[in-house]
Amino acid sequence: MQTDSSFTFVLFGGTGDLSMRKILPALFEAHRAGGMLADSGKIVAVARHAANRDEYLQWVNEHVKPHVSKDGLDEAAWTSFLARIEFVKIDLGNPEDFVQLRDAIKDLPGIRVFYLATGPSLFVPICHALASVGLNENARIVLEKPLGYDLKSSNAINDAVGEIFAEEQIYRIDHYLGKEPVQNLLALRFGNALFEPLWRREWVESIQITIAEELGVEARGDFYDNTGALRDMVQNHLLQLLSIVAMEPPHSMDSDSVRDEKLRVLRALKPIDPNEIGKVAVRGQYHAGGIRGSTVPGYATEAGVKPDSTTETFVALKVEIENWRWAGVPFFLRTGKRLADRVAEIVVNFRPVPHSALGASALRAGANRLVIRLQPNETIRLYCLAKQPGEGMNLASVHLDLAFDKFFREGQMEAYQRLLLDVIRGRLALFVRRDEQEAAWRWVEPILNEWKASTKPPKPYAAGTWGPAAASAMLAQHGTCWLEEEN
């Protein structure tokens, strides 16, 4: 893909973990591909932990380089990429330092993008400081999650940022929306006559969306203990994936058409009755256990975590959508830390045939299903039944692999690479609009409030398992189970 759109990409938090692992590697891959980034485009890192440009580039070589180009580093491309990078040392807490930033970028070409890879407490001060030196005009700003702690705090941040940047200037990023299989989900549904007629309550029995992690809280104990899995994963990633799966066909793929349909799904979520939360929501917390042969500690003993913490590290939910397409179809959402595997996937379980002349195996749940895996490997598989070779009519499960790498020579684009290119080119479709965010917070708040007031601790589960037994029991009540053994 070619572009001649020049840009100045200003990266706040230039020495942070996100910049090191995701943002700078994604920009490098776009640079290395050739033609994706304008030759005149510049990257301006902003941080206070480096003295000057040379010291910052030394940091980039030491910390960023190991995260790029899994198929081998192109040294010439890396050298030319470093030539794009400028550095400005400022203290984000000192608005007067932003004069230095203004002066450093005033002669750089193209659209200005400000990426806030910082804690949310700095979002508003940075925006005010940018406005104080006139850098908010004709610019784009990217906000990382978490955007607030609840609906009230989210609205406070959005109100403050909205006074400085117009809604069409604000890019609230959710990297799951940039993953290739999610893009292919849209293509499968809206580009083919095969799937869309089946994508409704008459043919779909249930849908599962799972984001499971093997890792614990790592060095983020302080942050996580004040956040929890519901805020960290459900309010944004899982509800965004649900809205993509369940949305109506947009009239086009322009930004507001797509986001309007996602918003309709979020507003159609069946409200949670506080008296029913125990039946449709499971919260858990991992105890000591084993991950791939290694013993790992329990959550309450992690650094930065209160010993008597009731913060949830696991959430499973039953969600219903109150519209004609999905009435009566349960959506099961699940996320957790220290689970048995690292996997993110969407499972669409189709209804069995109404009557089978081929035996009971044709009637079993899950015989026909579509599995869209987002990580660790990105695949889409369609499962169905076929006759086993030999005598008799014995059925066995087989699958069709949608192996895109065999059809397309170019490699798959990483989520952050796609989303950063969309920001530079002004494409908002894969970014979260404010009203979407408000609808998601409004739906999860009854659960947050009930768990905060509850005297019951989260249900324990051993690290290295698939979470509390109550999560499986919730699905068993609907005659189904979590899909946990796909390869």
* Helix, strand, coil % in the chain, rounded to nearest 5: 40, 20, 40
- From residue 366, how far is each of 217, 319, 344, 371, 375 by CA, in Å? 33, 19, 18, 11, 21
Q: Which of 67, 237, 287, 399 is catalytic?
A: 237
At residue 70, what are phi and psi to the nearest 5 degrees? -65, -25
Q: Using CA atoms, how far apart are residues 472 and 476, in angstroms rounded to an integer? A: 6
Query: Which residue matches tokens 């060095």?
Result: 219
What strands lie across the sheet with 369-375, from one edge to the other?
Answer: 395-401, 379-387, 369-375, 343-350, 204-212, 331-336, 314-319, 281-287, 459-462
Q: Which two tokens stand for residue 132?
A: 């104080």
Query: Are 126 and 85 spatial neighbours (Cβ–Cβ below 8 Å)?
Result: no
| Residues whose CB is less than 8 angstroms from the CB of residue 311 and which lie 6 or more positions away in sequence, other chains included | 224, 225, 226, 227, 228, 285, 299, 305, 458
Q: Cite the DSSP H helix spans in 212-351.
A: 221-225, 228-229, 239-246, 255-268, 277-280
- Length of the chain as a residue count: 487
Query: How many whole angstroms separate alpha carbon 4 and alpha carbon 111?
Result: 12
| Cα–Cα distance measured from residue 211 to residue 332, given in angstroms and rounded to the nearest whole number | 12
251 is an active site residue: no
- Angstrom distance (rounded) from CA 96 to CA 100: 8
The residue type found at 481 is C
How far is the C-alpha of 478 from the C-alpha of 319, rounded, in Å?
13
| Paired tokens of 318 | 């039953």
- Strand 42-47 to 85-89 pairing: parallel
> Distance between the two ends of the chain, CA-based, in angstroms?
33
Q: Which two tokens stand for residue 68?
A: 């790029």
Token reading at 440:
């998601």
Which amino acid is located at 131 in the chain?
Answer: A
Query: Nearest-CA neighbor of 170 among 156, 159, 180?
Result: 159
Query: For residue 208, which phi and psi values (nearest 5 degrees)?
Result: -115, 140
Catalytic residues: 237
